Chain A
Amino acid sequence: MKRQEEPEVQRGAVDVRQLPTTVFGHRDPLWWGTMGFVAIEGTTLFIAVASYFYLWRNTGTWPPQHTLRPSLLWPTISLAVLLLSNIPIRFLARAARRLDAGAVKRWLVVATVLSFAFLFLRWQDLLSLNVRWDTNAYGSIAWLTVGLHATLLVANAGEFAVFTALFHSSRRTERHLGDAVDASVYWHFMTGIWAPLYAVVYLGPYLI
């Protein structure tokens, strides 16, 4: 026997046997889990920015004297790449929603390549700060803000690498398509939140 048999009296029973097992977006518990982690990570990055402004008012100039401003070339390129990467991720999510596993597999490869490209770009972002973390508090908070976001990128690259491998293996099931949609939502958060962080860390020092 696979399912519970009908109770003897049907009155008031709620039969759920026809409900689907693969659902997307807010119908999926995993989507809510992803949202929870978005809230945690968003709060953490907000704290980094709040601390950035708190420390800013401690010095007459920002960055402090004898400290170079950040270079803008690489960070601007990486911002553009991060934001544009949402286009293929959108295709990935759409393919997952229409249960097209073949297309999901292809877009996952693209996403994984992109997520590893982010790591190279992030290294350039850090070098472009033109200050060490132990030079002064400005350097500390700039490194920490960019570094915290980098940990999301690293985790994301790891996740997509494993995910891509899983989709190319025999252990994939339909349920994983829902996971792909959740991963794409996280991708939107991760790349979108970089825009204000970029503005604060890289453009902020040019404002005064």
Chain B
Amino acid sequence: MSAAVSPSEVVTDADRRARDELAHSWKDAPGFWGWLTTVDHKRVGKRYIVTAFIFFLLGGIDAALIRLQLARPENGLLGPDAYNQVFTMHGSTMMFLFAVPIMMAMGIYFVPLMIGARNVAFPRLNAYGYWVYLIGGTLLYVGFFTNTGPDTGWFSYVPLAGPDYSPGKRVDLWAQTVTFTEISALITAVELIVTIFKHRAPGMTLNRMPLFVWAELITAFMVLFAMPWVATASLFLASDRLIGTHFFNPAEGGDALLWQHLFWFFGHPEVYIIFVPSLGMISQIVATFTGRQVFGYTAIVLANIAQGFMAFGLWVHHMFATTVPQLGSSFFTATSAMIAIPSGVQIFCWIATIWAGRPRLRVPFLFVLGFFVIFVIGGLSGVMVASVPFDTQVHDSFFVVAHLHYVLLGAVFPLFGAFYYWFPKITGRLLSERMGRWQVALFFTGVNVAFFPMHFLGLDGMPRRVYTYLPETGWGPLNLVATVGAVTIACSVALFLVNVVRSLRNGELAPDDPWGGDTLEWATTSPPPPYAFVHLPVVEGRGALWSRTEARPSVTGLRTDSREALVTTLVDALPDSRFHHPDPTIDPFLTAIATGAIFIALIFTPWGLPLGGILLLVTLTAWAWPTKKEHAKQVKQEAEVLP
């Protein structure tokens, strides 16, 4: 037999020694200090997922408040000011603090495992990204709970968000939160790209990469070119408010529409940044639960890439109600309709896979089936609003609210499916199937009951962002129905929480591969050890596990007494060099604190930049300077290179 990949396969003495040494080399310090200093992508990824999910719950509470307020005409639960804050918090939380972070977080946890790596390429940067994100999200909610919650909508249009119409610090907090989350997303994107390019297991050529890894790679590239737009826009906005620049002030040659262009050039790709990873999750779930490779691998990858490019050519369809030239509008109508093509290609590929396979109707698969319905409805209303005459009729109405929730919740269905699918890998325990089925049913019903009536409300003229309406409008009954739907969604999410808590306590223990999956994360124990694999796997075909031969080749010769990783070539994944990963360190945390100090101080004074900058220089120097121990390890590693 060959060398063990999973710790559960270890039978020889040599493997046993390797496993024990690896466990020692890759372990974190115990207790709170270990929690603070860890650079393990699994621990960082897990806390990313948990944090983003907490923000999902907070954003969900915001949503529930909105729906309760609108449940009947002239309701007095929330006043106009509180309502403005709540809907802004809901949108900002869901987009900036939940959707993008959780999709990236799933990548942080699973991409290294799926490509057979021990960690991400830059583990310290990874930890730093998380802390910056946490500081940003906390800042927004501290503001909200101290009556400084932003109140100008998640896209914070100027001039409303400018210094004249929004005095005080509410919008500044929003702008800085955006900056924090963008820094964190950009860092994660670079992290994932380099990890995928350079740390794939030998044999995992680009055209053998799991589809989820492809999806995360494409998403990371989109983040790279989309996030700087909103970061720059929020910089413009903050400086208009703080140091008196005139980017958006028409009286001095500025332009309010510039904000919309900058924001939506980010904002539209953002939708796909959320959506593309969930497409990757669907591909993994469909393959596993039909027991066959996904039909049309190349077509799906190309469709994903096409979506990545096209997503950057749609932004003006958010601005049809402004003075965009007609020719421009026509172009953006065409591109908006065109993106339905790659989306359709993927749907047909999955249908073909299900058709030819033997579907097992387990909970992750049920969520995927729910996605098909929700996404097709959202896609169809998307093609409708791509048309300028139709869009100008329903612009800023509840029709748009219905459309965007169908699309975005379309991405949440596979995400919940992925939670059920990968929960055993992360925790070592399976979620309850029975409760899961109830959750799917409640979620599917809730989403449709909450959002389908909104199409009619919009067509009937109900505008977005009104805190109440008169009984004479006749909007009361459908709003009440929508609120019942929202309560149903809340019940579904509550059921999920109960399921998680119960399963963590006494759920069924999960083996290495509870579903019979095809990807490398199933080739190690559940949960995986810090070093992931005893011997790094070698991939022999597109299906990493299903095409594994009896030889079960693996990598030998990597050090086990220090954190050594393998670097492979970009296209063919041929072994190319050895790379030393850093030990746990407090530096990322301290650097994040310094970064936080700069941006929070900047809300109040421009002097925050030089003063915080000095602090940042100190922490970054400590980061770059090798400790004695690290130095010794590196010297030892280099001394052993054979000529």
Contacts and interface: CB of A to CB of B under 8 A. Distances in A.
Contact of A136 (B235, B246, B580): B246
A14 B580 contact: no
Contacts of B194: 29, 32-33, 36
Contacts of B580: 21, 175
B621 A137 contact: no
A159 to B, nearest CB: 8
22 contacts: A1-B21, A3-B560, A4-B14, A5-B17, A7-B15, A7-B554, A11-B553, A12-B2, A12-B554, A13-B3, A19-B566, A22-B577, A26-B570, A33-B121, A40-B224, A44-B231, A54-B255, A136-B253, A137-B247, A138-B253, A144-B247, A173-B631
5 closest A-B pairs by CB: A12-B553, A17-B557, A36-B190, A7-B3, A137-B253
Nearest to B569: A27
A8 B1 contact: yes
B245 A6 contact: no
A13 B198 contact: no
Nearest to A173: B634
Interface stretch (B211-219, B236-244, B299-307): B236-244
A22 B625 CA distance: 18
B397 to A, nearest CB: 29
B252 interface: yes
Given A55-B254, A136-B253, A162 B624 contact: yes
Interface string A37-57: 101100110011001001100
Given A16-B557, A40-B227, 8 more contacts: A7-B15, A15-B555, A22-B577, A27-B567, A29-B567, A36-B190, A137-B245, A140-B254
A170 B628 CA distance: 10
Given A20-B578, A21-B577, A47-B229, A13 B555 contact: yes
A46 to B, nearest CB: 8
Contacts of A208: none
Interface stretch (B34-42, B135-143, B353-361, B635-643): B635-643
B189 A36 contact: yes
B90 interface: no
A2 interface: yes
A55 B1 CA distance: 69
B561 A2 contact: yes
B561 A1 contact: yes
Interface of B: 1-3, 12, 14-15, 17-18, 21, 121-122, 125, 186, 189-190, 193-194, 197-199, 202, 224-225, 227-229, 231-232, 235-236, 239-240, 243-247, 249-250, 252-255, 258, 261-262, 535, 538, 549, 551-561, 566-567, 569-570, 575-580, 613, 617, 620-621, 624-626, 631, 634-635, 637-638, 640-642
Mostly helix, strand, loop or mixed at chain B's interface?
Answer: mixed
B245 A133 contact: yes
B125 to A, nearest CB: 8
Contacts of B1: 8-9
B245 A144 contact: yes
Interface in A157-187: 158, 162-163, 166, 170-171, 173-175
Contacts of A17: 556-558, 642
B116 to A, nearest CB: 11
Nearest to B223: A40
A6 B538 contact: no
Interface string A140-167: 1101100000000010001000110010
A29 B193 CA distance: 10
A59 interface: yes
B21 to A, nearest CB: 7
B576 A27 contact: yes
Contact of B557 (A4, A21, A64, A143): A4
Contacts of A121: none
Contacts of A20: 577-578, 641
Contact of A6 (B14, B232, B555): B14
Contact of B577 (A19, A51, A140, A154): A19
B575 A16 contact: yes
A17 B637 CA distance: 11
A188 to B, nearest CB: 19
A2 B561 CA distance: 6
A2 B198 contact: no
A76 to B, nearest CB: 26
Contact of B613 (A1, A133, A138, A154): A154
A19 B624 CA distance: 25
Contact of B244 (A16, A29, A134, A138): A134
A32 B566 CA distance: 15
Contacts of B576: 19, 23, 27
Contacts of A64: 253
Contacts of A47: 228-229, 232, 262
